[in-house]
Amino acid sequence: MAAIFSKTHSRLFYGGNFFWSLYRRTRCFPVRLSLYKLAFTHSSATPARAGSHHSNERLEFLGDAILGSIVAAYLYRQYPAHSEGFLTSMRSKIVSRSQLNKLAGHLQLPPLIRQSQKSNSQAKSIAGNTLEALVGAIYLDRGYKTCRWFVEKRLLAPYIQLSELSRQAASSKSALLEWAAKEKRTVRFNKLEEKGKSHERLYEMAVFLDETLLARGQARSKKKAEEGAACAALEKLSLTYAHGNPGLR
């Protein structure tokens, strides 16, 4: 503990405002500030040939896994009598991109993010991705126990209403599929295009309704591209996804 205090004390003077900005948002004393600076560095703010070691992509990968495990354990304790399917659905809702973006907004993470002003790639997911990277940084810096405290006390407890969330569809894709099932319509997703280098692939997915192309979506993963296409499809069909229950506006 004394060692951590000594390191933290020195970071207080060298880290300045960034140190206190982190503490106000996380309520965890950062020790290795370089990890957190990396967590808030989007790939667009790094040189083209710098690689993922100079952006938050690797921390995002780690944070995604850690966050998923903490949320899973949290739900397991909160719902001792519910099925695996229910727990899986609830976890998906909590770690969805839209939910993570909201949580990042609640913590006011966007003002700390370093990104190119010219870049609008993944604009809708940068905040959520940064939150995952922050979780990864806290895990590496302070360990699993502190990371779990941050997720449960700073994210889940104040901002996630489990009773309300249990009534919502897990995603725009889920909402669209539920609507199609009720209306006895057929929905399918197809990949239209895949381009870019191996470390920065861009996927374009299309959603078809009864064999008619309805909408498209682009993202750096097939799953996110499908979600974008489903979101656009709901808009085109004049359906609302409020509270996760698709219906006519």
Whole-angstrom distance, CA of residue 206 vs CA of residue 25? 38
**Side chain identity, residue 201:** R
Flag whether the pTM goes above 0.85: no
Out of 139, 165, 191, pick the residue that ends a domain. Answer: 165
User: Which amino acid appears at position 207 of this protein?
Assistant: V
Q: Let me know whether 160 and 188 are in one domain.
A: no
| Residues 214 and 161 both lie in one domain | no
- Mark whether 208 and 140 lie in a shared domain: no
Residues 218 and 177 in one domain: yes
Distances (CA, A) of 56 to 110, 137, 163, 176: 14, 9, 33, 32
Q: What is the pLDDT of residue 92?
A: 83
Q: How far apart are CA 109 and CA 40, in angstroms?
A: 9
Note if 57 is an active site residue: no
Show the tokens assigned to 17: 């405002």
pLDDT for the residue numbered 116:
78
CA distance linking residue 104 with residue 126, whole number of Å:
10
Q: Is 210 an active-site residue? A: no
Question: What is the CATH number for 19?
Answer: 1.10.1520.10
Residues 156 and 216 in one domain: no
- Tell me if 113 sits within 8 A of 37, measured CB to CB: no
pLDDT value, residue 223: 86
Contact criterion met (CB below 8 Å) for 229 and 217: yes
Do 149 and 59 fall within a single domain?
A: yes
Q: What is the CATH number of the domain that holds 233?
A: 3.30.160.20
Of 103, 136, 165, the one marking the end of a domain is: 165
Which pLDDT score is estimated for 52?
52
Q: Which one of 165, 185, 202 terminates a domain? A: 165
Give the model's pLDDT for residue 246. 42
Q: Are residues 96 and 219 in the same domain?
A: no
Whose tokens are 């905040």? That residue is 127
Task: Provide the residue range defining the domain that includes 195.
Answer: 172-248
Rounded to whole angstroms, how far apart are CA atoms 133 and 139?
10
Q: Which of 60, 132, 226, 227 is catalytic?
A: 132
pLDDT score for 121 = 47
Which of 57, 60, 64, 227 is an active site residue? 64
135 and 26 within one domain: yes
DSSP H or E segment with residue 218: strand 212-219
| Residue 190 φ then ψ, to 5° | -130, 145
Q: What is the pLDDT along the chain (249 residues), one digit of tens a residue?
A: 555 545 544 444 444 699 999 999 999 999 999 999 999 999 888 765 555 578 999 999 999 999 999 999 999 999 999 988 888 889 988 998 889 999 999 999 999 999 876 655 456 789 999 999 999 999 999 999 999 999 999 999 999 999 998 887 777 888 888 888 889 999 999 999 998 876 678 999 999 999 999 999 998 888 889 989 998 999 898 875 544 444 433
At residue 65, the pLDDT reads 96
**185 φ, ψ to 5°?**
-110, 160
